[in-house]
Amino acid sequence: MPPDQMPARPAFRVPAIAPTAVAVPVPPIPACRAWAARYAGEHGAPLDLTQAVPGWPPHPEMLAALARAAGDPAAATYGLLEGETALREVLAEDMRLLYGGDAQADDLRITAGANIGFNLAMAVLAAPGDEVLLPTPWFFNHEMALALRGVRAVPVPCRAADGFLPDPERAAALVGPRTRAIALVTPNNPTGAVMPPELIGRFADLCRERGLWLVLDETYRDFLPDGQDTPHALFRRPDWRDFVVQLYSFSKAYCIPGHRVGAVAGGPVFRGEFIKAVDNIQICPPRPPQFALAWAVPELREWRAGNRARIAARAAAFRRILEAGAPEWRIDAIGAYFAWVRVPDAAPDSAVAAERLAAERGVVSLPGGVFGPGGERHIRLAFANTDEDTIAAVPARLAGLFPRNSAARAERVPAPVAAPGRPFDRSP
Ligand SMILES: Cc1ncc(COP(=O)(O)O)c(C=O)c1O
């Protein structure tokens, strides 16, 4: 049939995407890094303080162990759903040393990172329409994971006056008939705040009383501040397996975020369901890094302790240098890999501050709005991936960006990245 006589095809329409996905904001780190493309370099090389990554490579023997494991044909086959037994055994021993209590290999499941651990856990703890309480500022991936599943994240606001520690009474008042869990992050991303063991215990009591799961993300547990040697006493409670789900990451402590290994601890009821999500989504976690970690967990204890001291020294240097050189950017909380910094009063909000900081001064940070409601006056600076020389350069970059009485000037700044590329302004 000649082309001009062919019946017109119906216009092609892209099939619909699930509204739960469309409502989720874009991943914030690449979006914020894109601002730095406008930086002309006049203040020196760009400083990327967006991502929580360790600022040094893995231990050389760890690299050798990884190489050996990657060359082992056994590592190329599917592994156990629950993860390598040898790794679960050494991790359980590590947990007994750190927390006390009686954690066993059987309590642990290895996951392809703590983020997938959270997703897999939430697949079995909360159904669409349920609610999970998240203290704010929250770790944006937690809220994104819940939103993708149609689960509502209920913000539990934390205050600067409380050191950004969540308040169990405020959380209790927000528990409703659809609440299934409270998810805490300690040491915290983004504020760095570290919950005292006693406060974690009060949240455990609340969860016990109200029949909720307590999900504890301890990705940064190897970076406790000086003077605190145990994160909490939950694993010493005889009932922890009935309601606690703990997440751990090997990304930070072993400097291997690219290898994707984490762990989830929980009791038999939880594990019985969790394994269904594992089988469908992950099958088994990557095997070569598990082989290497089974060696590294007991062998690199001293190295890990040294890294903890290094990060603590970096936090102290960051505080000292920023307070002396750019006091108008006030550190409201600091710990683990992060400083949670209040932007100067003359800045219209932290989205504008972060964008201008990246585009005009080459310092790339995350604006507080990406961490949920209430973050509009703060930015997160991840200093773990820097050294003291880099930190020393920060105050000069910050200084003078929002001089006092500069509100009129600030208002003339173009609005930050327009939708749909906006990673912030997510209303709960
Ligand atoms: C609180 C928190 N949980 C989980 C993760 C992700 O860890 P993983 O690399 O093990 O998935 C991060 C990484 O930044 C984090 O900050």
CB atoms inside a 10 Å sphere around CB 91: 24
| Binding site membership of 139 for ligand 1 (Cβ less than 6 Å) | yes
Which of 251, 260, 383, 385 gets mutated to test ligand 1 (max ligand atoms within 8 A of its CB)? Answer: 251
Distance 117 CA to ligand 1 centre (A): 10
Class of the CATH domain delimited by 18-56+303-401: alpha beta
Distance 257 CA to ligand 1 centre (A): 9
| Binding site membership of 282 for ligand 1 (Cβ less than 6 Å) | no
Residue 423 has pLDDT above 60, yes or no: no
Distance 414 CA to ligand 1 centre (A): 33
Write the pLDDT tens digit of every residue in 304-355. Answer: 999 999 999 999 999 999 999 999 999 999 999 999 999 999 999 999 999 9
Q: Which atom of ligand 1 is nearest to the CA of 117?
A: 11
Domains of the chain: which residue ranges?
18-56+303-401, 60-300
Burial of 184 (0-12, 13-18, 19+ CB in 10 A): buried
| Binding site membership of 155 for ligand 1 (Cβ less than 6 Å) | no
| Binding site membership of 83 for ligand 1 (Cβ less than 6 Å) | no
Ligand 1 atom 14 nearest Cα = 52
pLDDT for res 368: 96
Contact 378, 160 (CB under 8 A): no
| Binding site membership of 219 for ligand 1 (Cβ less than 6 Å) | yes
Write the pLDDT tens digit of every residue in 354-375. Answer: 999 999 999 999 999 999 999 9
| Binding site membership of 394 for ligand 1 (Cβ less than 6 Å) | no
Q: How far apart are CA 308 and CA 302, in angstroms?
A: 10
127-to-18, 130, 217, 312, 417 alpha-carbon distances in Å: 16, 6, 20, 39, 34
| Binding site membership of 217 for ligand 1 (Cβ less than 6 Å) | yes
Sorting pLDDT into bands at 50, 70 and 90, what band is 257?
very high
The helix (H) or strand (E) run that includes residue 245 is strand 244-249
| Binding site membership of 113 for ligand 1 (Cβ less than 6 Å) | yes
Q: How many residues does the chain have?
A: 428
Write the pLDDT tens digit of every residue in 259-301. Answer: 999 999 999 999 999 999 999 999 999 999 999 999 999 999 9
| Binding site membership of 262 for ligand 1 (Cβ less than 6 Å) | yes
Contact 132, 181 (CB under 8 A): yes
User: CA 378: distance to chain centroid?
Assistant: 17
| Binding site membership of 294 for ligand 1 (Cβ less than 6 Å) | no
Which of 186, 188, 189 gets mutated to test ligand 1 (max ligand atoms within 8 A of its CB)? Answer: 189
Ligand 1 atom 13 nearest Cα = 52
| Binding site membership of 115 for ligand 1 (Cβ less than 6 Å) | yes
Burial string for 367-400 (b: 16+ CB within 10 Å, else e) reads: bbbbbbbbbbbbbbbbbbbbeeebbebbbebbbe
Is the domain defined by 60-300 classed in CATH 3.40.640.10? yes
Distance 359 CA to ligand 1 centre (A): 27
Write the pLDDT tens digit of every residue in 175-212. Answer: 999 999 999 999 999 999 999 999 999 999 999 999 99
Q: Which atom of ligand 1 is nearest to the CA of 52?
A: 14
| Binding site membership of 185 for ligand 1 (Cβ less than 6 Å) | yes
| Binding site membership of 114 for ligand 1 (Cβ less than 6 Å) | yes
Sorting pLDDT into bands at 50, 70 and 90, what band is 11?
confident
Q: Is the pTM of this model over 0.85?
A: yes
The helix (H) or strand (E) run that includes residue 290 is helix 287-299
Mean residue pLDDT of the chain comes to 92
Distance 198 CA to ligand 1 centre (A): 24
